Amino acid sequence: MMAASRDGYGEGLLDISSDQNVVVLEADLGKSTKSLHFRKSFPERTVSCGIGEQNMMLIAAGLASCGYKPFASTFAIFTERAFEQVRNGIARPNLAVHICGSHGGSHTGTDGSSAQSIEDLAIYRSLPNMTVMHPCDDVSASVLTQQCLDLSGPSYMRTARNKTPVIHADRVAELKIGKGVLLKHGSDVVLIACGVLVSKSLEAAAELEEVGISASVIDMHTIKPLDTNLIDEIIAETGCVVTAEDHSIIGGLGGAVAEHLSSSNPVPLERVGVKDRFGESAQAEEMLDLLNINTADIIEAAKRAIERKNRS
Amino acid sequence: MVTEPSRTAQLEDIARHCRAHILRMTHRAAAGHPGGSLSEIDILTALYHQRLRVKSDEPDWPDRDRFILSKGHASPGMYAILAEKGFISHSDLESYRVLGGVCQGHVDMKWTPGVDFSAGSLGMGLSFGIGCSIAARLDDSERTTWVMLGDGELQEGSVWEAVMAARHHELGNLKVIVDLNGIQNDDFVDVQMRMFDVPAKWSGFGWAVKEIDGHDMEQILDGIEWADSITDIPAVIIAHTIKGKGVSFMENNPAFHGAAPSDEQLMQGLAELGFDGGDI
């Protein structure tokens, strides 16, 4: 079954709508981010901010300061326009504003490079107090959205525009902010992925199996705080790592894992991600191929990681 | 509004004491922003001592009126008022810009009781105030939100996103005061970026607008009462003020936007305000 993680955000908002303190903020993209379903049912708790993301972030902060639980969404790229508002007005006073950036990554496709945020996870990860998430499917996007109510500080969640395989339909109970999900257990290499590259990593693991390579696969839906316990546990067995993300190799999941390994157990790490360049207009699959972040690239990275492990 | 002359005089005297605090704080820290603190202080005095429903013994009282100092660099003025109102102690004023101090360089809700907004970056307070106003509406509360902006701050484009949104959402519980002192960091506003007819800009966005002399206590009190009488749309008071008001060498002098007085200047300033060095 295929679904888009942005739909999970919309469903998650409806699932927590009985909490009267939940308010939703939109910047003229509710149809796209899927907050429109909440707006239709609860217009009195939905704040239209027009095309004004900077204003939206701080209205959300003001609401949070008065005890409300604001969820503000726009495209991932346009949240970045309001970065300093998020930094100074939300993260610094540690106000529990929950930001959803949809249409993140090159996978968003034909809109082209202006819409393809490949740096959002990195910049939000650098902010104190922020939780940063990138779920891989609609099920986990919905569950993580609901769990935002348990956070005492702000969060950023990237969702994707296009449909990808549903991974977690039978794993809802395992989903928890800050906890990676071990989707497949293998002993030669671990593929740690987020977002749209989780299903690609599962594909890669299956193909690796056919050539005798046993790969673990982790859905690391929460980039910050990083589930280092799970990473440590799995690399004790695999001894090498591949990270996979539709995001710059600088500062995102790969960066976070590299930071952890370099100060704990520096096993070989291969990062599959966007190599310091911008995208262009193309279909989602074409973008993953163009940027060398598709299944075949994960397979090659796994082989390189194992080779480096065996050399050392 | 007919205010007892004695009450007006009382408020003016509180403001005089606050001006002395501002000089002492910036002098002690050898840094800070005295000019904009002195331009805003008469208005802050009237708001805090005559209008705002706040409780110094319960600074987080959920149903308090909110005051957002968007021009958060003018924090000495805010701290002076909070000390006079009893939110913080007078000795806390000595912690201005000091490591671990209650009084951070820019007002910060995480550090100072009675501060509702963490400022420091211009152009943010009105948007935050809109959030507070929408919250009051959702709570079905009569509380109001007051936001003070500087005039240089109006050059931030996001301010106008907020001005548009406040009117769109018909926030009759939102009141703004613009401290129109005509000077910003580097120079006079008219040198840095002319804004022409500021009241017309706000009225063009659909706000109720009133101009006052921001140092005339009677006009300030009248302005506040006028703003309270507007309950269906947001209201803005454009307060014509003088940067550095009350200290001759600071008045209308861009040098004192962000510079502290020297020892001699402190003594002169205090003397002009009717204090001697040890008489606060």
- Residue B280 has a pLDDT of 45
Write down the pLDDT at residue B1: 56
> How many Cβ pairs within 8 Å bridge chains A and B?
100
Residues 6+ apart with CB under 8 A from B101: B92, B95, B111
Give tens-digit pLDDT for B226-254.
Answer: 999 999 999 999 999 999 999 999 999 99
Q: Is residue B279 part of a domain?
A: no
In whole angstroms, give the CA distance from residue A149 to residue A111.
32
Residue B277, in any domain of the structure:
no
Whether the CB-CB separation of B212 and B223 falls below 8 Å is answered with yes
Partner residue opposite A52 with nearest CB, options B121, B133, B165: B165
Is pLDDT at A10 greater than 80 in this prediction? yes
Structural contact between residues A36 and A172, judged by C-beta atoms closer than 8 angstroms: no
- Report CB contact under 8 Å: A59, B168: no
- Provide the H-helix boundaries in chain B: 5-29, 34-46, 75-85, 125-138, 157-168, 189-192, 198-204, 217-229, 263-272
The reported pLDDT for the residue numbered B200 is 98
In three-state form (DSSP H/G/I as H, E/B as E, the rest C), the secondary structure along A181-228 is EEEECCCCEEEEECCCHHHHHHHHHHHHHHCCCCEEEEECCEEECCCH
Angstrom distance (rounded) from CA A33 to CA B179: 39
DSSP state of B240: E
Cα distance between residue B186 and residue B39, in whole Å:
17
Q: How far is B167 from chain A (nearest CA, A)?
A: 11
CB contact (8 A) between residue B131 and residue A94: no
Mutate to test the interface with A, among B73, B121, B146, B158 (most CBs of A within 10 A): B158
> Which range of residues forms the domain containing residue B172?
5-272
Task: Return the axis-axis angle of helices B75-85 and B5-29, rounded to nearest 10°.
Answer: 120
CA atoms of B129 and B117, how far apart (whole Å): 9
Share of chain A above pLDDT 90, in %: 100
CA A260 to chain centre: 18
Computed over every residue of chain A, the mean pLDDT equals: 98
Residue A62 to residue B135, Cβ atoms within 8 A: yes
ipTM topping 0.90: yes
Confidence category of residue A300, pLDDT binned at 50, 70, 90: very high
What does each of the 280 residues of chain B score in pLDDT, given as a tens digit?
566 779 999 999 999 999 999 999 999 999 999 999 999 999 999 999 999 999 999 999 999 999 999 999 999 999 999 999 999 999 999 999 999 999 999 999 999 999 999 999 999 999 999 999 999 999 999 999 999 999 999 999 999 999 999 999 999 999 999 999 999 999 999 999 999 999 999 999 999 999 999 999 999 999 999 999 999 999 999 999 999 999 999 999 999 999 999 999 999 999 999 998 664 4
Domains of chain A listed by start with CATH number: 2-165 (3.40.50.970), 178-311 (3.40.50.920)
Residue A196 half-sphere exposure toward CB, CA atoms < 13 A: 29
- The number of distinct structural domains making up chain B is 1
Which chain A residues are closer than 8 Å to B118 by Cβ? 88-89, 92-93
Q: What is the CATH number of the domain that holds B50?
A: 3.40.50.970
Yes or no: say if A72 and A57 are a contact pair by the CB < 8 Å rule.
Answer: yes
In whole angstroms, what is the distance from residue A138 CA to residue B196 CA? 51
| In contact, B2 and B257? CB cutoff 8 Å | no
- Is there a domain that residue B278 lies in? no
B129 part of a folded domain: yes
Which of the residues of A are catalytic?
A: 53
pLDDT number for residue B27: 97
3-state secondary structure of A276: coil
Distance CA A225, CA B144 (A): 38
B280 found inside a domain: no
